[in-house]
Chains A and B, each alone.
Chain A
Amino acid sequence: MSEHGSNATTANGAHAGETRRDFIHIAAATVAAGGVAAVAWPFIQQLAPAADTRALSSSEVDISKVPEGGEIRVLIGGMPFFIRHRTAAEIASAKAGDTAQLRDPATDASRLRPKKDGTLNPPILITSGTCTHLGCVPVGPSQGTVGEFGGWYCPCHGSHYDTSGRIRKGPAPSNLPIPTYEYVSDTLVKISL
């Protein structure tokens, strides 16, 4: 160290090789690393969904316009959702499925949400429109194909969903998820991501 004109080693000569300069190096590097991390964070966080994107993460849908036996598809924040008006036969078939051997067991009632008065509304089934396998959008009554179990069929890799949106056949691991939604009135539903 003497060549640097410093006698720093004398302060801790007992610890061979450790000098105040080492301490200064480590401290300076630590501060620099902290600074880099602090600056890096905004550059990473800007990738996250922006405030306007997050603000569009829920939508109100008028379910009275859905014809019986048909469905409508809505995009909320770019994600597809199915709102299906089931016929009596389709509801019966969904209820019958409660006792079948299911890959992802769930009763039809557990896949509905109560109205304002606390009762369920079995004709209206609301599910995510994203196949749980690899994210394709299954086809349904509007496309003329409902699969072997009367619900939806995913053309990508052949997953069949029943009239309650439960996976019955094919590679998908789980049921079509039920989004967070609530009945604002008897005919208006608010769906959130």
Chain B
Amino acid sequence: MSGPSTYEPKTGFTKWLDTRLPIVRLAYDSFIDFPTPKNLNYWWTFGGILAVCLVIQIVTGIVLAMHYIASTKDAFASVERIMRDIDYGWLIRNIHATGASMFFLAVYIPMFRGMYYGSYKQPREMLWILGVVIYGLMMATAFMGYVLPWGQMSFHGSAVITNLIGAIPLVGPTIKTYLMGGPAIGDATLNRFFSLHYLLPFVIAGVVILHIWALHVPGNGNPTGVSVKDAKKDTVPFHPYYTVKDGFAIVVFLIVFAAFVFYFPNALGHADNSIEANPLQTPAHIVPEWYLLPFYAILRAITFDIGPIPAKLIGVALMFGSILILFVLPWLDTSKVRSMRYRPFARQMFLGFVIASIGLGFCGANDPDTLIFKFREDKLSLNYTATTGATTSEIFDDFAAAQAKLQSLPPTAGGAIEISKSGFKWLWLSQILSAYYFLYFLVILPVLGVIEKPKPRPASIADSVRKKHGSKAKTAPAGAAAPQAAE
């Protein structure tokens, strides 16, 4: 969408520079005069917010690296030293740790936005794919960063993840060994994770430049999904219109950010990570950080083998598949209409997708075998080996009856009384939601594009804006139309 450059260097120096390195021209065309659809809502402000997040993480991270020691003996103590002894270390570390969560929050919202408004569709496929690449790099960076404090959850969480990689057939064990640099997570692992954790944010910054480049070729999408037809009527310059709008969104976002940093710095982390890593003792519940919980739920949803393929491998494949599927989303969605505003059925399905994704997060946080709700009151079950050799289980309402029956059994029966619960397990919910997650991409989107009859779309962005604000047509006198808009 970037038309011919309108930048005119004014001073002698900028004229001289412009013929040698037209960097001011590039910035002017990209962030000042860039024609931007006039109807973008606040869901479009997260690009600026994410840029701020990346800068915050890099700046605080560089400072933390000055004090952190990547060694299994010293890592935990060095983080405690940052928190207690280094001036403002607590502040910088809290910003960095909270920043990771905020970064993911700020990346999930525009991902959902892109899915709702069809931002990934032609001609913005590369823009979307580069976004997914950034997201993947963010997950790798966050995973390695979480290992560095060398707490219990750092250690055992990374053990679970590296074991997952080991479950990949043929190459898995080799990759796992090369990843860990030894038989178990240890000094070698910690040092290479630290090195890569420092590197990857700069790789992200590089991909962000490609992402912005890919954005500036077709220009922004917009809530109507209708392409810009007349740059004069449909667009406004990025500055001041969107610098101000993005700036306001950034300020609101930073208020939330600061609230977490100063008032709830530990709300988003796990208490077990305040205990130094002990390879001989596993925490009762290993859970990843909140932003990875939906994928953890998909991993654990598979508890059954399919033919010769073991459950563990299917779980791993689906977990990675749930992310990789985003790469081909532009080709799975067959609808020509970008925005779901005009796709009445698709928007219902999308709502279901959002609920499934968030629901999977809750499934990931809960023990799969605990019950969401009970079918009946807990009873007692007596399990024993019958004289025929079969394992038998009987349900009793009260303890005395169960005890009496147990007494009557021969000692060889090996009877034992247990609490018998019956209810709806978190596991089942995660299985249902995982199924919906994949159905949405593999069945609902491809089929809906063919069978759904979309609602009429506005002729242009300018048209939709006029309609929203009540003016009938552009021939109507501006003054006459405006008062009616108040209704």
Contacts and interface: CB of A to CB of B under 8 A. Distances in A.
B312 interface: yes
Interface string B263-295: 000000000000000011110111000000000
Interface string B282-320: 101110000000000000100100000011100000000
Interface in A153-169: 154-158
B182 A53 contact: yes
Interface residues of B, number: 31
Given A73-B280, A75-B279, A134-B163, A48 B285 contact: no
B462 interface: no
B256 to A, nearest CB: 33
Instruction: Tell me if A's interface is mostly helix, strand, loop or mixed.
Output: loop
A47 B181 contact: yes
A136 B183 contact: no
Nearest to A148: B416
Interface in A121-167: 129, 133-138, 143, 154-158
B160 interface: yes
B225 to A, nearest CB: 43
B186 interface: yes
B185 interface: yes
A78 B282 contact: no
A57 to B, nearest CB: 7
Contact of B179 (A47, A77, A133, A157): A47
Contact of B183 (A49, A138, A173): A49
Contacts of B281: 137, 143
Interface string B176-193: 011101111110100010
B361 to A, nearest CB: 19
Contacts of B311: 171, 173
A28 interface: no
Instruction: Tell me if B's interface is mostly helix, strand, loop or mixed.
Output: loop
A53 B280 contact: no
B369 interface: yes
Interface residues of A, number: 30
B159 interface: yes
A69 B185 CA distance: 30
A135 B186 contact: no
B181 A155 contact: no
Contacts of A137: 279-282
Given A134-B163, A135-B159, A78 B183 contact: yes
B430 to A, nearest CB: 13
Contacts of B338: none
Nearest to B391: A101
A79 interface: yes
Contacts of B300: 157
Contacts of A76: 183
Interface string B185-218: 1101000100000000000000000000000000
A40 interface: no
B163 A50 contact: no
B183 A57 contact: yes
Interface of B: 156, 159-160, 162-164, 177-179, 181-186, 188, 192, 279-282, 284-286, 300, 303, 310-312, 368-369
By Cβ-Cβ distance, the 5 closest A-B pairs, closest first, are A78-B184, A135-B163, A136-B282, A77-B183, A47-B178
Given A49-B183, A77-B184, A155-B284, 6 more contacts: A44-B178, A47-B181, A53-B188, A134-B164, A137-B281, A193-B183
